[in-house]
Structure 1
């Protein structure tokens, strides 16, 4: 609280008048406001100059005058009850002169979402906004080489996108909120944040909020991604495109490619059935009805060079959905109905299906020491037996918006989100029809056998390749689904000539979660159950539910009520709000707490009753979350802003429900046990910044942000008594850790006429805490026998201190050629790039030399192990990443349609950015190993070739070394240069 008071005091001091420019060096704005339909003068219209405390109201004759304005370019806004809100951009004020601005306003009822009619060029940013956000419109999406929603998000300031996920301002991937048309589209069980995989063709606008999240959004402690999808208009429009990096003939790629094909189409416009057919017959719906339908297919074999013969998924009978290694299908149908001007109904159905072998599809606890990409290199020799991940998501909603009068509107929205994720051994059911022996993947010695030269009268056989070569199957079988029914409602009311806005709302979410997680489901001795006479084989089965398992079906509920009051006074804009969130763990938890056979410690049962409230026999928790944001002018076109807010994130359901049912007990070593009394993780964030509208086409934003994260979930080992009466150890989740993020961000935006727009940004931040995952403390106890990171604050695994990025778009839409170069007209060029700190890692330290396999002396391979010094956890960063992307488009107008050719190049310079770090050298793994063994042995004394002890070292041919050859892993680096050619037609 003391910190908040201090910050408010600083803001008040900085808000004092800062300039003393002579009044005769100022200008004046004046004009008259009339009704566009009747020509009558309008009395009491509010005229405000954005980014200042200047304003006026029209008099009895509709006139206004604002004096003493500093020379410059301004945006002027006019608001009046019952009329459209209007903004005039680029209004020039000159010293000692009077600028005339007459305004004609169109009568209209209040529209939702603070819609504004812009006269002139749209502002390059909202100078009065009190939060930090990036808005990416349709034109920017079309210009960039992006095809998926995560690619759009990853290009924004404050966002780090890598193969493991998206991290916003130092938060974890699962802390980011993902909202589509006002509906949460996260998979609450996968932990990756992106439940719905929308293609770029469905996106109208993407807003990435990195600071100052609005009070209507909850269950998010990092950033918020809000997507507005496209809708049909008054005229018909359509689009079809195909992009590829190959010839399609089975030959080599055109330039450098991964056998990628991207198909996209959309069609939108007014409903012919209703407007042109049914209406004339007198049976159509009144008002206007429009539609928009879009679809995208993104197929690729990726860049790893290893492919399965055919991906299979046990969710589908056909392999139609998985012709390549990564297969993404998405589609949307949206209908918009306006019965009359004050009413609007939106309805949509959206679906995405993804089938690939990326282990990051199921990123729940992140228990890797170093967060790694999802390529299953261990199965590289036989990817047909690796895990296939299938993610099927469906989102449907209907939304009703109604303006009661010129000052009030309300909105109700009902939605259903269904997400399902299946991980199987490339289509294998969890219980095979036959159990024919040990199916565990392994690297074994196979003929022809290579011998290790000993020079003695005995022989050693060299081990296998370190990769699966025994036809073994991936050991995970997983299936979950999450079904969410959500009802949202809000009421917005304006007071005092729309200078005061009050918004109240609620959200009710009803969930149904099912979770099945089985490791090695075929474990157990085969038991004969009969004979297969046709195939002359003995049928077998096993009675065990795998080596370990976790099964539960629960129905938690959550929701909130919130209120927000926005006050505008002489340029100051204050948003003061609060959100009351509640959470019902559900009947399953309530019953298990009451069940004496459930493996729940007695002290936890007691704490559950003490920490929860009773509502008609159901237990729940709640928390009040205040949020405040303020912006005010320091001088003309310069606004200071401040944000303060509390956010929470519910624990992953597996941390709550795992192992509670006494009937389904996992008897593996240190199996997980849920904690029914877990609290949500809490984030308390602050931000202070200043926005500068330098000119109508230049803007500079500087912000400092920090957040304190409490009740991070960590693990401990506890003893419980199971149903058999014996004591067993369990991995138990508790709220025990914390983290903090500090940072500074600078963004500059530039626009020149209609042919250039660009921006550059620089971010420095530090994300530190006690642990990076809920598994860290437990893993340290198992490996090191000590609480490795207890009470030691170190960088978090995803901490990337420096991030610089820039983007520029050149658009030349003229008939005459650019620079008189023939053919160089009607084209667009987008170029973007970034430079950022490398990924974090915990260094390995030299222990000793290994014993020679013949002499037994410690003169053999140097052995390195992860440092056990608590201060070394993720203390080092690998080499910096940098990349440049380019997109060139050329179009032609043909018979009312537009044909467009595109060339997209990602990683133009073909930089090798390390995604996996050799923790011995702090660099990427070397890939330039010589071919001969003699040359390899000559490198033994070169420390730059050393590798950790769990990695095979090709310099030492050793009969005892069956480790993986990680230096050969193609996922060691990010995607190399990729060139895509495309052709599209639009009308």
Structure 2
């Protein structure tokens, strides 16, 4: 920490500390309407706030640090009539220019009222970004953050969000200026609902130096704050159901409005008027899902016993009910939802104006989720699947201090906890003693999920699904549980200081420092249940089995910090963004000196097992006796090469320049160009996989190993764009981009000392590039219609889509690709259209149309690849979602009736396909696989019907909301 303090002092001395991207800027010129002369000392006030300014000798003014929102602005001066301007929109990281002409008059006369007309082309935009307000979100059929982002140009939603050809996990998430990306898996460590979002900024271009730890995009969320003068609130309830008359989706032919429940509400207002306010929101949602299985079997239906060569029926008391296989199942064949979810989320934010120069905000947000994912193998034994539990909790503290009207300082502190578990957890107790493992099953709301897998009775059974070892292929599980257990927890502590300074008319300076430390714990294993365990469930020893991974009691504690400095230079006919960012990362981990003999607890090289008594560098049979064996301490200090067993991973750093400019080409059009280098630490899961460095003898190519010495992944991006306003209400934007992506995570095959044993080590080797153009057409509300059309043409190629591709190819005896191939998310044509229409007052219809050309896949026949990777294309996809609503007043409150319909025309988009046909609808497997005629098993055709290969069917939700 002393090094952090040293750098902090240097930074403070070097320049005024300046606010990350959470606010906007208002600027303009005030003149006399008749003489056209600038007015000196005119007052500008942002109504409803304490933001304001006065004009200088040139009649110019600027107001910094304004939260994104739509405001009214008042211009006033002694001897002149006031000018009142409505609907002035302030956006994150952007400058809103608002000029005013004052005419002479007596103070107190009726003010001149004007409605601001925002230009369709924002003159100071130097890279591609989208700013979506809360009002725009409310009008569209979108319910999650990902739904909004997926509509933006350059985004492909396929196994995660891919921005301009990048891999998933290359996006940085920010809330109120604080990074909230979980470094373990690059997901969002905090759950934020749409009703808590004031503005969403999505950056897909070459973002400024203040943004880091991302190679593809930035999702910057500004949450709502409480009003300091008046109270308001909202409560809504929606009920719904999936509805489809299709045998592919059983149980959906009847509309059951209780299968989807969505209740949410918000409240905001003053606690102390003009001083302290609160905003609070919460949501409960339950979705019963649309994929159903049948309870033909339950986990305890059958247990394979190799000693008696029979299937045994196991009851909780170990009673042997039937020594023979029960061919037609033992349960009631009732239908069970297999992809349900249940979630609570909440956010509370306090805002305190201590004095005109000092503001403080504190927010607490969290969520609790329980769910189960669909598993086709368990379709007839749905209770055998694992449950997933996620708890997220975040505390954020932000202090804003005004050093003077042109310079602001912001200090931020946050602590986020992301806790995920996947385990067998239901009302049955078939498990072994877990008393030595600590698992917190109580969430922060105080609700508790019954963790019945924790049992003090070691005799309770966990039933294995190994019956499948006996049954032929293409059959559903007829008993047993999922044998895996996974728990991972990340605690992320962040300190950040940054700010802004308008040092003169032209230079708008930003600078900052961020320190982030993460503590991670992990426990992962597969329960062993076989003859060698005496058919008693057992957790494998973490030091002996690669199937049991743990970070130990202290976990992993990597840390990182960064400095940035940037300047936004605004001339009348040129805007330049120039910046520099420096990132530093210490993995706090170790790597092997001798990768061919990785496991210090079970070495295979004789010289690592015994002392070399005669010093000849080899171990003879004479030296191989028990008393001459080395222990771990001996091996730690010296391995076969005379080095210590481990060495510390190196710290990593990078200097990343950013440059962008924009200039006008017509009175309502401009061009921009941007260039930048982007640096991202690999997901921590790739650094710390298999932390015991275990590769058992005789395992073949069966395991991968993390690498604490992975280098940062790097992207160089270029962008050029053109924007033009057409008429009063239409804007068009054309953008071209190119990305060169290097040092991507890959796997290298390491040959163990034991012949035939290999493992995959994560390294930096993969390469990719993407290029494309986007065309965006936007129309603001006029003639009752508004909307956007975004089209993207892109090509995304690389040597591998998956970091584990080389390892998987080696395990399958496939020659790795040595040329650039289409990546899995290489969608050449993407079209998104949003339309809102207001046919009558207080009503509206929102429509979303999405189209995507076919994604690539690799053709196979009889399980053998028939060409190069991703040589063919899946069918294209399209979808239409609809939202309609009607508002009316009742007893002083506003009521709203609404209906959301997702997949309006119930389209069957084929997302996953059979590799021998390229379709979800059929496969050639029946032509070379005989039907199994034994009693009780599913037919081959039953197994090959895959509802999980398609997009979700039509979903209808009907709601009522009350606002005051």
After superposition, the Cα gap between the structure-2 partners of 1:258 and 1:213, relative to the gap in structure 1 and judged at 3 Å, is farther
Q: Does 1:45 align with 2:59?
A: yes
CA offset at residue 496 of structure 1?
2.3
Question: Which position in structure 2 is the counterpart of 1:227?
Answer: 221
Distance 1:591 1:288 in 2: 61
CA offset at residue 830 of structure 1?
0.5
Q: Deviations over 1:479-507 (max 9, x none)?
A: 1111111001113222222x101211111
Question: Which position in structure 1 is the counterpart of 2:559?
Answer: 557
CA offset at residue 969 of structure 1?
2.0
CA offset at residue 181 of structure 1?
1.4
Q: Deviations over 1:655-710 (max 9, x none)?
A: 22233446998995532222222101111111111111223411110000111110
CA offset at residue 947 of structure 1?
3.8
User: What secondary structure is seen at the aligned counterpart in 1 of 2:532?
Assistant: coil
CA offset at residue 606 of structure 1?
11
Distance 1:599 1:226 in 2: 48
Q: Would you say the 8 A contact 2:590–2:649 is kept in 1? A: no
Q: Deviations over 1:122-170 (max 9, x none)?
A: 44452321111111111111111222211122222222224x2222211
User: What secondary structure is seen at the aligned counterpart in 1 of 2:707?
Assistant: coil
CA offset at residue 715 of structure 1?
0.9
Q: Would you say the 8 A contact 2:565–2:581 is kept in 1? A: yes
Q: Would you say the 8 A contact 1:601–1:720 is kept in 2? A: no
Q: Does 1:346 align with 2:356?
A: no
Within 5 Å, which residues of 2 pair with 1:551-950? 551-552=550-551, 553-586=555-588, 597=635, 612=650, 620-661=651-692, 669=700, 670-720=702-752, 729-753=758-782, 755-786=784-815, 788-789=816-817, 791-811=818-838, 818=840, 825-845=841-861, 863=862, 865-867=864-866, 869=867, 872-926=868-922, 945-947=923-925
Q: 2:283 aligns with which of 265, 289, 296?
A: 296
Q: Does 1:518 align with 2:542?
A: no
Q: Does 1:87 align with 2:97?
A: yes
CA offset at residue 574 of structure 1?
0.7
Distance 1:311 1:631 in 2: 64
Question: Which position in structure 2 is the counterpart of 1:854?
Answer: none
Q: Would you say the 8 A contact 1:658–1:673 is kept in 2? A: yes
CA offset at residue 426 of structure 1?
3.3
Question: Which position in structure 1 is the counterpart of 2:122?
Answer: 126
Q: 1:333 aligns with which of 331, 343, 348?
A: 348
CA offset at residue 767 of structure 1?
0.9
CA offset at residue 194 of structure 1?
2.7
User: What secondary structure is seen at the aligned counterpart in 1 of 2:216?
Assistant: coil
User: What secondary structure is seen at the aligned counterpart in 2 of 1:381?
Assistant: coil
Question: Which position in structure 1 is the counterpart of 2:236?
Answer: 241
The runs of 5 or more residues in structure 1 that have no matched partner are 1-27, 49-59, 64-74, 79-83, 92-99, 107-116, 276-286, 313-321, 359-374, 447-461, 529-538, 613-619, 813-817, 819-824, 846-862, 927-944
Distance 1:500 1:540 in 2: 68
Q: Would you say the 8 A contact 2:339–2:372 is kept in 1? A: no
Question: Which position in structure 2 is the counterpart of 1:208?
Answer: 202
After superposition, the Cα gap between the structure-2 partners of 1:29 and 1:85, relative to the gap in structure 1 and judged at 3 Å, is farther
After superposition, the Cα gap between the structure-2 partners of 1:604 and 1:918, relative to the gap in structure 1 and judged at 3 Å, is farther
User: What secondary structure is seen at the aligned counterpart in 2 of 1:805?
Assistant: strand
Q: 1:166 aligns with which of 161, 170, 176?
A: 161
After superposition, the Cα gap between the structure-2 partners of 1:873 and 1:971, relative to the gap in structure 1 and judged at 3 Å, is same
CA offset at residue 478 of structure 1?
0.7
Q: Would you say the 8 A contact 1:30–1:101 is kept in 2? A: no
Question: Which position in structure 2 is the counterpart of 1:399?
Answer: 398
Distance 1:559 1:309 in 2: 55
CA offset at residue 753 of structure 1?
2.9
User: What secondary structure is seen at the aligned counterpart in 2 of 1:736?
Assistant: strand
After superposition, the Cα gap between the structure-2 partners of 1:830 and 1:540, relative to the gap in structure 1 and judged at 3 Å, is closer
CA offset at residue 754 of structure 1?
7.4
Q: Does 1:388 align with 2:402?
A: no
Q: Deviations over 1:722-771 (max 9, x none)?
A: xxx99953221111110001110000101243732101111001111011
Q: Does 1:266 align with 2:266?
A: yes
User: What secondary structure is seen at the aligned counterpart in 1 of 2:210?
Assistant: coil
**592-601 or 514-523, larger mean C-alpha shift:** 592-601
Q: Would you say the 8 A contact 1:718–1:732 is kept in 2? A: yes
Distance 1:391 1:308 in 2: 26
Distance 2:291 2:104 in 1: 60
Question: Which position in structure 1 is the counterpart of 2:510?
Answer: 503
Q: Would you say the 8 A contact 2:662–2:673 is kept in 1? A: yes
User: What secondary structure is seen at the aligned counterpart in 1 of 2:825?
Assistant: coil
The runs of 5 or more residues in structure 2 that have no matched partner are 1-33, 46-53, 63-76, 81-86, 108-112, 244-250, 300-336, 435-452, 601-632
CA offset at residue 586 of structure 1?
1.2
Q: Does 1:467 align with 2:476?
A: yes
**970-979 or 590-599, larger mean C-alpha shift:** 590-599
Q: Would you say the 8 A contact 1:258–1:303 is kept in 2? A: no
Question: Which position in structure 1 is the counterpart of 2:371?
Answer: 356
User: What secondary structure is seen at the aligned counterpart in 1 of 2:811?
Assistant: helix
CA offset at residue 383 of structure 1?
2.2
After superposition, the Cα gap between the structure-2 partners of 1:307 and 1:337, relative to the gap in structure 1 and judged at 3 Å, is farther
Task: Give TM-score, length-normalised by structure 1.
Answer: 0.72
CA offset at residue 223 of structure 1?
1.2
Q: Would you say the 8 A contact 2:121–2:669 is kept in 1? A: no
Distance 2:384 2:756 in 1: 37
Distance 1:309 1:268 in 2: 51
Distance 1:565 1:677 in 2: 34
Q: 2:134 aligns with which of 138, 141, 147?
A: 138
User: What secondary structure is seen at the aligned counterpart in 2 of 1:384?
Assistant: helix
User: What secondary structure is seen at the aligned counterpart in 2 of 1:655?
Assistant: helix
Q: Would you say the 8 A contact 1:154–1:161 is kept in 2? A: yes
Question: Which position in structure 2 is the counterpart of 1:535?
Answer: none
Q: Would you say the 8 A contact 1:43–1:61 is kept in 2? A: no
CA offset at residue 34 of structure 1?
5.6
